[in-house]
Amino acid sequence: MDLFSFREEEWFDHPIEWLAPFRVRQLFHWFHHRGIWDYSEMDNIPLSLRKRLSEEFPVESVHINRWISSREDETKKILFQLPDNNIVEGVLLSYRHGLSFCISTQVGCAMGCRFCASTLGGKVRNISRSEMLQMFYLAQREFGKKITHLVLMGSGEPLDNLEEVKGFLDILTHPKGQDMSWRNVTISTSGLVDGIEQLILWGHPLTLAVSLHSARQEIRSELMPIAKKWNIQSVAEAAFRYQAISGRRVSFEVSLIEGVNDTKEDLQMLIQLLQGKGAHVNLISLNPTQELGLVSSSSKRLQHFKKSLEAVGIHATIRREMGRDIQGACGQLRNSVLEENTRRNDGKSISRR
């Protein structure tokens, strides 16, 4: 049993006869309010009990493998080493409104988006809720400031790992844990309609970000293979349903790629899909990724898209670029570390694929 990953009610589903209810409350506080899972540090619990807990319920630890600070801004890129030695990324971004943590939900990704470095080696495995919680607590502790916003937009498709994501968020938002506001959590999806339906049923006021990238079915299918399963219309309908029921405005993410999805026709189709729907468009300048050979549209083109969308009443922003000097794009740093390790180990990567 992994006690660290238990929601409050799950402690009572799996009662441990030698652990009194007040000890359970103490443990939950240490784990999820203090972010500490090393029993030896829990000084209000008797030594004999700490020893028994560590023998019977050891918590497998995540570690920080690398902590890289941007010279351009306050962005921090973190490489986490999971208990099985897999490596995943996280990013801390400082804004005026608070500190935001972008977390990975899978090691690698199965979705195959053409512009994304995270998918180059495919999906290795899901990240457990215990690992996600530890990454959050480690990042917060190391930065020395409370994380106020969480974005599930690192490597992986969160809705392809929804049960673990739900457990992670239930604990993080628990009043006796970090008490994070559901409204400060954003889940990004490549457009898994069944997953969006699950979020609707779950019923929390999260922000949903849909990676759209093109409103033209043929272009989107080329960029994102998942679009062949869930077409644009079905994704947009599910997103608008989510918006209507949750009361949270959906953000459609569009990375503009020169000569691929930044034409006049792309713009018109985007307007046709979103006009009058109350949605938000977040325009993104594509991070250059050596392996993928795609180039971002110019900032002039991004501005043109923004102005044209706003002119027809669609709320649009251009995502501020942060931490480019530390390879801020999803999956890039992990890939370069894996390559480096492969070279160093003469062909033996530390990732267990």
CA distances from 324 to 75, 82, 113, 239, 288 (A): 9, 25, 20, 30, 9
Does position 332 interact with ligand SF4 (CB under 6 A)? The reply is no
Closer residue to ligand SF4, CB minimum distance, 94 or 234: 234
In whole angstroms, give the CA distance from residue 177 to residue 190: 30
**Which residues in the 248-307 window bind ligand SF4 by CB under 6 A?**
none
Q: Interface with ligand SF4 includes 180 (CB under 6 A)?
A: no
Q: Which of 174, 178, 62 has the alpha carbon at shortest distance from 128?
A: 62
Residue 91 and residue 103: Cα distance in Å, rounded?
A: 7
Residue 89 in the binding site for ligand SF4 (CB under 6 A):
no
Does 330 bind ligand SF4 (CB under 6 A)? Our answer is yes
Give the interface segment with ligand SF4, choosing from 14-22, 79-87, 149-157, 284-292 (CB under 6 A): 149-157
Q: Is position 310 annotated as part of the catalytic site?
A: no
118 is a contact residue toward ligand SF4 (CB under 6 A): yes
Q: How far is the CB of 116 from ligand SF4 (least distance, A)?
A: 3
As measured in angstroms, the least distance from the Cβ of 109 to ligand SF4 is 3
- In the DSSP assignment, the letter for residue 152 is E
Which residue number, 75 or 189, has a Cβ lying nearer to ligand SF4? 189
Report the candidate in 191, 200, 203 with the shortest Cα–Cα distance to residue 232.
Answer: 191
Residue 190 binding ligand SF4, by CB under 6 A: yes
The DSSP secondary structure of 233-294, one letter per residue, reads: HHHHHHHHHHHHHH----EEEEEEBTTTS-SHHHHHHHHHHHTTTT-EEEEEEPPP-GGG--
Q: Does 157 bind ligand SF4 (CB under 6 A)?
A: yes
Give residues with Cβ within 8 angstroms of 190, minimum separation 6: 111, 113, 157, 211, 224, 226
The reply on whether position 124 binds ligand SF4 by CB under 6 A is: no
Stretch that binds ligand SF4, among 88-96, 111-119, 165-173, 307-315 (CB under 6 A): 111-119
Applying CB under 6 A, the span of 2-10, 116-124, 168-176, 301-309 interacting with ligand SF4 comes to: 116-124
Q: 165: Cβ–Cβ under 8 A, 6 or more apart, which residues?
A: 105, 129, 132, 152, 158, 159, 187
CB of 184: closest distance to ligand SF4 in angstroms? 21
Residue among 276 and 293 whose Cβ is closer to ligand SF4: 293
In terms of CB distance, is 155 or 178 closer to ligand SF4?
A: 155
The candidate with the shortest Cα–Cα distance to 100, out of 48, 58, 151, is: 151
According to CB under 6 A, which one of 82, 91, 103, 116 is a site residue for ligand SF4? 116
d(CA 140, CA 213): 32
User: Nearer to ligand SF4 by C-beta: 102 or 138?
Assistant: 102
Of 126 and 155, the one with the shorter C-beta distance to ligand SF4 is: 155
Nearest CA-CA partner of 258 in 282, 231, 283, 286: 286
List residues bridging with 157 in a β-sheet: none
Q: Is 330 one of the catalytic residues?
A: yes
Query: 295 and 258 in contact (C-beta within 8 Å)?
Result: yes
* Residues known to be catalytic: 89, 330
List interacting residues with ligand SF4 (CB under 6 A): 109, 111, 113, 116, 118-119, 155-157, 190, 211, 330
